[in-house]
Chains A and B, each alone.
Chain A
């Protein structure tokens, strides 16, 4: 009996794991990696946002904060060492996040190789997630690259002196460079949606809440995403509209 369906090699997706995967490489394993790296990045983002608000205390306070990051731990530790530890952690999180995202997307593509002829609008609880996470993720990645060129390495920023963080922010979001602000806000919007789904999705992946707690997590995720978006948006808006000069 070679013909029974249990063993029939039917039109299978072209790529699939050859042997049972180790747990960490399974779909859920990768999702956990994605969730953990995402949570680390959210912690960074919250700290980053809080740090940004120094700008409202004036140039000196802002620059001191920026300087303080570099000298954190001195003289016990070498210059910029804590910052580099944070940076490496962050880079690793980004790498894990993107890599797991790519692997999962590729697997998902093979798992659903044919589209429906009739496209019906989604009905799920987090119906926009598919686009928000994948396309939104790409937008956020491109933004981060630009953001580094702009405010970290200053390649595209008029203010090249690294210690003058305040000057660089004011320069990049100056009223005549309003498209930069618009781009920044667009990227923030993508981030907001990414976080609104990502936060509860991460909790769902790691903790697996009951229905009641899932609803609460979703509400919390929305709140955190809004706080982050507003907390970040207030800086470029203030500069562009001349409240911070």
Chain B
């Protein structure tokens, strides 16, 4: 198949960027979206041009590195699918496709389609963990956890930290990401002692990193490749309210 691409090109963090058009032929419909970009890059290098920089690693939808906004949708048009798992059979011969980086104040562009998502790590540093120094653990069966809690915790913990929620949010908010972690740890008995400090710390780090607030439009959940729902934001709000009142 033949495609017209418009791709955001920006040589570094300080440079001005712009959308640049590329025509590409003979794309296999069995190729993944990133493999299509690999083919384009091989050609660009052959022509002595700078290839398009984009983040990617595992290419099986779990590492959370890939991060393209395809036709205005983070990770592209297929629901519950990361860019690396999106295949070209979802497009038609002759399509034109716009490819942009995640857009958010807290995720500055480093180059082309690569953004700096270290703000997510800073949110985790501010409390997204259970303090269990190595060697201090009791037997794994010491505390039974109801299956439905363990399953719900897992569903929230399935977050891959890709940042699609932020990219989709008109407010550039990281609430879904943060809510997923607060929900995961808050559902585990081991997570209770730090529950209040965790949510207060993470919310402060989130705001400090420059993420916006939540308007509950649900764009984040619609974009999430792991189908994490708005209930985690509700849980985050509730935990925050309780913790803030107790702290006041």
Interface residues of A, CB < 8 Å — how many? 55
The B interface, classified by DSSP as helix, strand, loop or mixed, is mixed
With A104-B213, A112-B212, A209-B234 known to touch, is A127 a contact of B105 (CB < 8 Å)? no
User: Given the complex of chains A and B, what is the CA–CA distance between A28 and B206 in angstroms?
Assistant: 11
> Which residue of B has the minimal Cβ distance to A134?
B215
As a 0/1 sequence over residues 209 to 235 of chain A, the CB contacts with chain B under 8 angstroms (1 = contact) are: 111001000000000000000000000
Min Cβ gap B190→A in Å is 21
Interface residues of B, CB < 8 Å — how many? 67
Q: Is the CB of A11 within 8 A of B71?
A: no
User: Given the complex of chains A and B, what is the CA–CA distance between A26 and B102 in angstroms?
Assistant: 24
Q: Is the CB of B203 within 8 A of A26?
A: yes
Q: Is the CB of A23 within 8 A of B208?
A: no
Q: Is the CB of A204 within 8 A of B237?
A: yes
- Is A242's CB within 8 Å of the partner chain B? no
Partner of B217, one of A6, A27, A126: A126
A30: B residues at CB distance < 8 A: 213
With A124-B220, A208-B237 known to touch, is A115 a contact of B103 (CB < 8 Å)? yes
User: Given the complex of chains A and B, what is the CA–CA distance between A129 and B108 in angstroms?
Assistant: 26
Min Cβ gap A41→B in Å is 18
Q: Is the CB of A208 within 8 A of B71?
A: no
User: Given the complex of chains A and B, what is the CA–CA distance between A200 and B215 in angstroms?
Assistant: 11
- Is A117's CB within 8 Å of the partner chain B? yes
- Is A43's CB within 8 Å of the partner chain B? no
The chain B residues found within 8 Å of chain A, CB to CB, are 6, 8, 13-14, 19, 69, 71-73, 98, 100, 103-106, 108-110, 116, 118, 121-122, 168-173, 175, 200, 203-223, 229-231, 233-241, 243-244, 247-248
A-B CB contact pairs (8 Å), 19 listed: A12-B105, A13-B106, A16-B208, A17-B208, A26-B204, A27-B173, A32-B237, A108-B173, A111-B105, A112-B103, A112-B172, A116-B72, A118-B100, A123-B222, A125-B217, A125-B222, A209-B231, A211-B230, A214-B234
The chain A residues found within 8 Å of chain B, CB to CB, are 5-6, 8, 10-13, 16-17, 20-21, 23-24, 26-32, 104, 107-108, 110-120, 122-127, 129-130, 133, 197, 200-201, 204-211, 214
